[in-house]
Structure 1
């Protein structure tokens, strides 16, 4: 009964502690902590209570989650409390983990009953507190997950995902090759906190993190225009995906603080049940967070810090982070067609075209149009076969005809479109890209326009080839200069 115990709460990377002078064993203080967090909506109640304390609207001494016979909560601290020689029970609201003696034991999302709790607190073969091997797996703490598990997808990349990954690699490589941007990237590594980033540095980071989430259409600015972003702490790049710019995600404390920021942002902004994704991005690394909300609970999981930026001395452009964000951006998006209409300003162009090509009128003043005859709907496969023959402008117009036509158009609009060419595959690296380190920032794609196939180069400088090229503009603007990529058709 005289064994000391420590009751600890972690939230927003801050720690609260309450010392108990007796009954610190799992059957005593351990069960009391378990029952308190296991109450209905326990995680949300804890987040609200300790959030109010951190926001200054409540004192730690007035906390309603204090446990009887223990000391009042100490003021919050960034340092994790020492647990030397006493039982410690830590409710980690940033990671949704129930720690015992600093060992991650249970998931807060699926806590055990009292009996299972007592049986599951064990000692490993080296004398450390641990979760018993016989503990039901649904109660055990879950380690960071792979992206394929997070998205419930195969590890094998489909052809259109490979195209998206390769295009993102080229865009990142072009940033690294640009003299101004490359110099800023080196400076970003020296920044201690995301709030210290200059506007140019933030723009570079946000461009790399978000470009794969915009409609994958790039052209001259008169044909396609992506909006220049405004700086905010949290930027929703899709209805279900938010980005926050961070620093030093390879440091565990920075990683966990960023994960916590994203979870809070999703919790505060999105009330509807469903799955949401957050991306913590530092240019050098990225972390993907998945939050699942239902009417009563919220669960989350996340990846480790994934390398995003290739080394400036790299031999290959691929990194786990680039692949992860490209795959995340390739997910089906219900609002994609609406966003395509916006970046292409399609309805305005269509209205202008209609005025220039009004149908001829008949002798009676009526338009020469066919009678309204009702036909049975054609299958999606047939509409898709028709859509494959259409150039970009007509493909978007085709999607305005009906829901079925729009569904067919969306299958093709998920592929990147550059100057009207749909990139469909990544062929074997040609010889001219094997010279020097060209493949780090330049790529060749197999592309199709109106059912005519060609090879196109993205990022190829005009001085390397006699083939004429177009300038493909991006949303990244540094000072007064836009980042652009060369685009050329080889036939």
Structure 2
């Protein structure tokens, strides 16, 4: 009976929060909150009209520019309320989207609410512990996203004049349909990151007010920036190190991640064809402004990604100069991005598409940095020097023992094309460093078929996500088993792993942390990726 909770109204982006001292379970405060919403359409309209008028009066009582202020037993704030140790349940009547939320997650259609025992029975949870409708919830009770206004005819005309929609990502990126091994490995890493991040992604993002959505933009931009650069996980840094070329400020919906090569446009919704078309036009208009004062850019090909929390579309933009400058655009449909709360695998068409785009961008920038930019040096170096004549196979062997910092700025890359090529190929692979300072290169995802026990560490048993890879110890040349995981109890996992002689680390992406550990690879069969990336 002492269960505490919040009863919340949402209106014009404000949350009107009332504290409930006891009996906040679904069959208590939850049923009470649902019961105030009329089922009769006419009565519902009158209820909404009256409630909006009442809430508007409360807003009028706020001090100018004020928030987090108590007015008539409600705390009025713009930050979304959250559950904590003392607030076990929250029920929200959202008048901005006509959705009923439970614990901050969208649940029911406000116009078609269930009541009483049905209301209680339809509240479920997914495998990440987030509230969601039970599988038995009828479709008419489930929440629905509000219909977006259509774009203007002028926008649609601009789209139709210069844009082509294609179904496949590889056509947009102009790459082979089948991913080469190292690209597949990097895609597995993208999936792993998303999998470990799932508790911090939410279906409610599609309905988030502007203040919350700014945080979501930063999350999406971080993902894009991370996977179009070197996959270098070093726990000695508290936050991932971004390439100097990356621009991660996301105050606006449009941003360059790699200048003049890869840009993104972030929108809250991308679930309709019209919205996708309008977003493509907006992206191209921003690109056009970016190149406005640049000369001799005809033939330039760049890439973009239009993203929402739920969908992604990959875009290819080619600049044509034939008297007048024009932009021809090809893009994919809106592909599912973040897995739904019912998916058991952290893989979607959108994640794979974004991974392929990230690899394409990184491969181009890395090749330019290590190979193209060193061509002049290669031409002037003596052709018969001992280092210059080393074959690629030996250079690859040397590169296989170097950590990524030694690869990216190694003067040997200026000596010969073979060294530059070897360092380029080695840098394409993910690298991890442990707290003990040991470096490992990941070279395959593992399908465990031997007697590998990945629950030897007790914290493993309580991990909601984990994935295994094969890795190579750069110091000892030993084959190792890498387990990347997201423990349910981080402190317990850190406590367990800090004891003994464990090779482990953690890597922060802000609200998300990757935990990883290495153990000898015994009894497992895997197909390793060679240093030949083709």
- Shared topology, TM-score over 0.5? yes
Tell me how far apart the structure 1 counterparts of residues 317 and 330 of structure 2 sit (CA, whole Å).
7
State how 1:6-45 maps to structure 2 within 5 Å: none
Change (3 A) 1:424 1:299: same
State how 1:166-315 maps to structure 2 within 5 Å: 166-177=188-199, 181-182=200-201, 185-191=202-208, 197-222=212-237, 225-227=240-242, 229-233=248-252, 234-239=254-259, 240-270=261-291, 271=294, 272-273=297-298, 274-296=300-322, 297-315=326-344
Stretch of structure 1 that moved more, 411-420 or 378-387: 378-387
Mapped contact 1:169–1:440 kept (Cα < 8 A): no
Change (3 A) 1:333 1:143: closer
Stretch of structure 1 that moved more, 386-395 or 465-474: 465-474
Q: Offset at 1:299? A: 1.1
State how 1:54-453 maps to structure 2 within 5 Å: 92-97=156-161, 142-177=164-199, 181-182=200-201, 185-191=202-208, 197-222=212-237, 225-227=240-242, 229-233=248-252, 234-239=254-259, 240-270=261-291, 271=294, 272-273=297-298, 274-296=300-322, 297-331=326-360, 332-336=362-366, 374-375=385-386, 377-398=389-410, 401-402=413-414, 404=417, 405-419=419-433, 420-429=439-448, 441-450=465-474, 451-453=477-479
Stretch of structure 1 that moved more, 434-443 or 259-268: 434-443
Aligned residue pairs, count:
323
Tell me how far apart the structure 2 counterparts of residues 411 and 488 of structure 1 sit (CA, whole Å).
25
Stretch of structure 1 that moved more, 457-466 or 320-329: 457-466
Mapped contact 1:208–1:283 kept (Cα < 8 A): no
What secondary structure is seen at the aligned counterpart in 2 of 1:323?
helix
* TM-score, L = length of structure 1: 0.57
What secondary structure is seen at the aligned counterpart in 1 of 2:188?
helix
What secondary structure is seen at the aligned counterpart in 2 of 1:278?
strand
Q: Offset at 1:325? A: 0.8
How large is the Cα RMSD of the aligned pairs?
3.6
Based on CA coordinates, which of the two structures has the bigger radius of gyration?
1
What secondary structure is seen at the aligned counterpart in 2 of 1:244?
strand
Stretch of structure 1 that moved more, 312-321 or 427-436: 427-436
Q: Offset at 1:380? A: 3.2
Tell me how far apart the structure 1 counterparts of residues 350 and 454 of structure 2 sit (CA, whole Å).
23
State which of 499, 504, 509 in structure 2 corresponds to 1:470.
504
* TM-score, L = length of structure 2: 0.53
Tell me how far apart the structure 1 counterparts of residues 515 and 168 of structure 2 sit (CA, whole Å).
35
Consecutive unaligned residues of structure 2, counting only runs of 5 or more, are 1-148, 371-382, 434-438, 521-534
Change (3 A) 1:197 1:158: same
Mapped contact 1:444–1:457 kept (Cα < 8 A): yes
Q: Offset at 1:338? A: 9.3
In structure 2, what is the equivalent of residue 457 of structure 1?
483
Q: Offset at 1:173? A: 1.7
Stretch of structure 1 that moved more, 142-151 or 328-337: 328-337
Stretch of structure 1 that moved more, 317-326 or 463-472: 463-472
Tell me how far apart the structure 2 counterparts of residues 261 and 289 of structure 1 sit (CA, whole Å).
12
Mapped contact 2:443–2:472 kept (Cα < 8 A): yes
In structure 2, what is the equivalent of residue 345 of structure 1?
none
Tell me how far apart the structure 2 counterparts of residues 308 and 249 of structure 1 sit (CA, whole Å).
11
Tell me how far apart the structure 2 counterparts of residues 439 and 153 of structure 1 sit (CA, whole Å).
36
Q: Offset at 1:246? A: 0.9
